[in-house]
Amino acid sequence: MTPYRHSQFSMLNIFAVGFPGVICLALFFSLNITGGFQYMTLGLGLLFLGIAYCFHSLTIEVNEENIRIRFGPGLIKRSWPVSDCIGARATRTRLIDGWGIRLTREGWLYNISIPHAVLVRFENGKAIQLGTDEPEALLAAMLEAGLSLEES
């Protein structure tokens, strides 16, 4: 099997979370205020920029043994054995499901964009959704790794 690896980048996450961080840091350095407000803007700025850094991309890897994901530089990552998986299918996420890591009606969702995802079911009855901008290629890699495809 040829290992599958794909990274997708989210400019929306970078701007939606990074821009408020830059604004907070600009306020911290430009305002001539001391005390709690100044430190709050510094803390919020660093927090927003840290979140933007951690969630600017999502990398999904599939090989014969594991399905792995990692957000951004890899501080947040997860792995599942292929042997525990019983099937996969393409699905769509809703705007209300959000971005990042969420518990949804279908199981845990790991994504940085909407609406495409692949739903993976496990032997224990649980499921995950992996957000992707190329669901067909991800499903093909999972099929090659030994998963069966489910009907949509």
pLDDT in tens, 52-78: 999 999 999 999 999 999 999 999 999
Provide the CA 126 distance to its chain's centre, in angstroms.
18
Number of Cβ atoms within 10 Å of the Cβ of 71: 23
Model pLDDT, residue 48: 96
* Backbone angles phi and psi of 63, in degrees to 5: -135, -170
Between residues 150 and 91, the one the model is more confident about? 91
Instruction: Give yes or no for residue 32 having a pLDDT over 80.
Output: no
**pLDDT given at position 117:** 95
- Nearest CA-CA partner of 52 in 93, 9, 5: 9
- Predicted structure pTM score: 0.88
Question: Any bridge partners for residue 71, and if so which?
Answer: 58, 76
| Signed CA dihedral, 49, 50, 53, 54: sign only | negative
Closest CA to 91 of 71, 80, 106: 106
> H helices within the chain, ranges in order?
11-30, 36-54, 135-145
Please name the residues in contact with 96: beta carbons below 8 A apart, sequence gap of 6 or more. none
Q: 83: which DSSP letter?
A: G
Query: 152 pLDDT band (50/70/90 cuts)?
Result: low
How does strand 127-131 pair with strand 107-111?
parallel
- Mean pLDDT to the nearest integer, 119-136: 95
Residue 146 — pLDDT band, cuts 50, 70, 90? confident
Higher pLDDT: 151 or 77? It is: 77
**Three-state secondary structure call for residue 98:** coil
